[in-house]
């Protein structure tokens, strides 16, 4: 290790507090310090190269250090780095809003900016809540969310989330929500089989709505893929059925496309796969191609109109960096690249290749399920395949598999014992093959080939 790396590592351990990180584990080994990046590769301070297998936490789309996005940011920097949207406008924020509305599913026609996914969700919740208040429907104050949901780490987004490891401690701070089953066929909480259940989990949501129709402001869910819970892919038709129940009972539908948006599932937005038209939609992560923090909550005109009026109708919500011109310029450049490079068209065959490459892993004695929607992949590792029995959490199997990939030049990050693959959409066939090969080897090396029963 060079002196410089050693010094940085020491300072990291001395001064930083890393998010979502087991600190004792972190402090036990020197950190990998990323210094630069190019395309689908990250380079550390020792000059070692790693494939960015999770798109730098699900954000990178067109590769790192793209001249087009860099230039858009520096051009904007020569004009103004930041000016507020509270009482003023700026060209990139205005232009991006129009581009997002043109791309967004259904009737979404208004864009409210913020800077993280959690924030975009909070704003959607507040908009849904206040929408009904502004209409005089005072009793509609509840939200319905799914088991295994993840919507971010602020208090409101945690309330609609359902990740017991992360949230149980905070329960006294969180508001109550109605909870419908997760469309998690591998571990169905209703004990049903996907071939015969007739989407019983969606019907359960319908039953909850029927029982609480007058009190519910909105249903919130991650469309098609519950990401942080382990890339849980909903069965076909589930999302559409939920939308139908929302319409039947007159409640708003909030789609959290923070993880699924901007091409991840093979379409620009996951809702498009089933022709679903949300009333509110939260986006973040990939919106700038992974270059700068930006998020947005999109709303229909009907919702927007309910807020037009005097002070009592106003949405009292805003953040200092809302609509930051640099971030909006990066997002515009990313959308230009989608068009110029026909990113989504080229993605189709790569999604097919990825699923062929993953197929042999399904036979592995410690792979319970391989889930894939587009370029979102979750490989669920289990101790006993025949009984779907998980490993004990303290075995840290998912973490160990990911660390085993490091010397192979691949960076990935697990969700519990689900190994996640989410490469940049721009990745080409040779790198895709390398990524899956490294992961398959690592699973073998860590889990072994015995059935473990």
Residues that bind ligand PMP (CB under 6 A): 116-118, 121, 150-152, 222, 227-228, 256, 258-259, 284
Residue tagged 């509110």 (tokens)? 280
Least CB distance to ligand PMP at residue 112 (A): 15
Instruction: Tell me the three state secondary structure of residue 282.
Output: strand
In the bound state with ligand PMP, the residue whose beta carbon lies nearer, of 399 and 413, is 413
Q: Which of 206, 95, 220, 211 is nearest to 162 (CA)?
A: 220
Least CB distance to ligand PMP at residue 277 (A): 19
Least CB distance to ligand PMP at residue 226 (A): 8
Strand partners, 411: 52
- Spatial contact of 383 and 389, defined as CB atoms under 8 Å apart: yes
In the bound state with ligand PMP, the residue whose beta carbon lies nearer, of 249 and 269, is 269
In the bound state with ligand PMP, the residue whose beta carbon lies nearer, of 108 and 361, is 108
Q: Which of 277, 177, 180 is nearest to 223 (CA)?
A: 277
Q: Closest CB to ligand PMP belongs to which residue? A: 117
In the bound state with ligand PMP, the residue whose beta carbon lies nearer, of 155 and 453, is 155
- Spatial contact of 182 and 229, defined as CB atoms under 8 Å apart: yes
* Residues contacting residue 25 through CB under 8 Å, at least 6 positions apart: 399
In the bound state with ligand PMP, the residue whose beta carbon lies nearer, of 112 and 150, is 150
Whole-number Å distance between alpha carbons of 177 and 182: 14
Least CB distance to ligand PMP at residue 390 (A): 22
Q: Which of 294, 283, 284, 288 is nearest to 324 (CA)?
A: 294
Least CB distance to ligand PMP at residue 258 (A): 4
Per this entry, what is the length of the chain?
453
The burial of 370, by beta-carbon neighbours within 10 Å (0-12 exposed, 13-18 middle, 19 or more buried), is given as buried
In the bound state with ligand PMP, the residue whose beta carbon lies nearer, of 122 and 431, is 122
Least CB distance to ligand PMP at residue 256 (A): 5
In the bound state with ligand PMP, the residue whose beta carbon lies nearer, of 227 and 368, is 227
In the bound state with ligand PMP, the residue whose beta carbon lies nearer, of 256 and 272, is 256
Give the distance, in angstroms, between the CA of residue 272 and the centroid of all CA atoms in the same chain: 16
Q: Which of 388, 448, 375, 449 is nearest to 61 (CA)?
A: 375
Instruction: Tell me the three state secondary structure of residue 292.
Output: coil
Least CB distance to ligand PMP at residue 46 (A): 29
Least CB distance to ligand PMP at residue 220 (A): 10
Measured CA angle at 31 (ends 27, 34), to 5 deg: 155
Whole-number Å distance between alpha carbons of 202 and 308: 35
Least CB distance to ligand PMP at residue 434 (A): 25
In the bound state with ligand PMP, the residue whose beta carbon lies nearer, of 296 and 382, is 296
Give the distance, in angstroms, between the CA of residue 41 and the centroid of all CA atoms in the same chain: 21
């Amino acid at each position: 290790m060079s002196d410089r790396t050693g010094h940085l590592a020491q300072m990291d351990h001395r001064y930083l507090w890393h998010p979502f990180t087991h600190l004792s584990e972190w402090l036990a080994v020197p950190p990998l310090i990323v210094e630069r990046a190019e395309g689908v590769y990250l380079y550390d301070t020792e000059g070692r190269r790693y494939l960015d297998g999770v798109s730098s936490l699900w954000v990178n789309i067109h590769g790192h250090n793209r001249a087009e996005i860099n230039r858009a940011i520096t051009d904007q920097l020569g004009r103004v780095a930041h000016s507020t949207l509270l009482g003023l406008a700026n060209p990139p924020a205005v232009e991006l809003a129009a581009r997002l509305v043109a791309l967004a599913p259904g009737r979404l026609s208004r864009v409210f900016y913020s800077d993280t996914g959690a924030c975009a969700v909070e704003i959607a919740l507040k908009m849904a809540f206040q929408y009904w208040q502004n209409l005089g429907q005072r009793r509609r104050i509840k939200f319905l969310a799914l088991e295994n949901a993840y919507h971010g780490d602020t208090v409101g987004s945690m309330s609609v989330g359902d990740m017991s490891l992360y949230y149980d401690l905070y329960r006294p701070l969180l508001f109550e929500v109605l909870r419908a089953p997760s469309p998690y066929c591998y571990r169905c909480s209703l004990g049903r089989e996907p071939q015969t259940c007739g989407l019983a989990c969606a019907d359960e949501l319908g039953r909850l709505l029927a029982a609480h129709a007058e009190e519910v402001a909105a249903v919130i869910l991650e469309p098609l893929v519950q990401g942080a819970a382990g890339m849980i892919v909903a069965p076909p038709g589930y999302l559409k059925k939920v939308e139908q129940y929302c319409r039947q009972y007159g409640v708003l539908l909030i789609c959290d496309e923070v993880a699924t948006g901007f091409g991840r599932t093979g379409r620009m937005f996951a809702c498009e796969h089933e022709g679903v038209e949300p009333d509110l939609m939260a986006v973040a992560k990939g919106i700038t191609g992974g270059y700068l923090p930006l998020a947005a909550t999109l709303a229909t005109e009907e919702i927007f109109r309910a807020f037009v009026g005097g002070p009592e109708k106003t949405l009292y919500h805003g953040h200092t960096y809302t609509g930051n011109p640099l971030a909006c310029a990066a997002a515009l450049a990313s959308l230009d690249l989608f068009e110029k490079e026909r990113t989504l068209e080229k993605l189709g065959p790569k999604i097919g290749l990825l699923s062929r490459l993953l197929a042999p892993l399904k036979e592995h004695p410690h792979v319970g399920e391989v889930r894939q929607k587009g370029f979102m992949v979750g490989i669920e590792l289990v101790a006993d395949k025949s009984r779907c029995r998980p490993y004990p959490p303290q075995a840290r199997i998912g973490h160990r598999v990911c660390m085993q990939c490091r010397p192979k030049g691949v960076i990935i990050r697990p969700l519990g014992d689900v190994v996640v693959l989410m490469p940049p959409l721009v990745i080409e066939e040779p790198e895709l093959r390398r990524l899956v090969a490294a992961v398959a080897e690592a699973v073998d090396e860590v889990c072994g080939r015995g059935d473990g029963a």
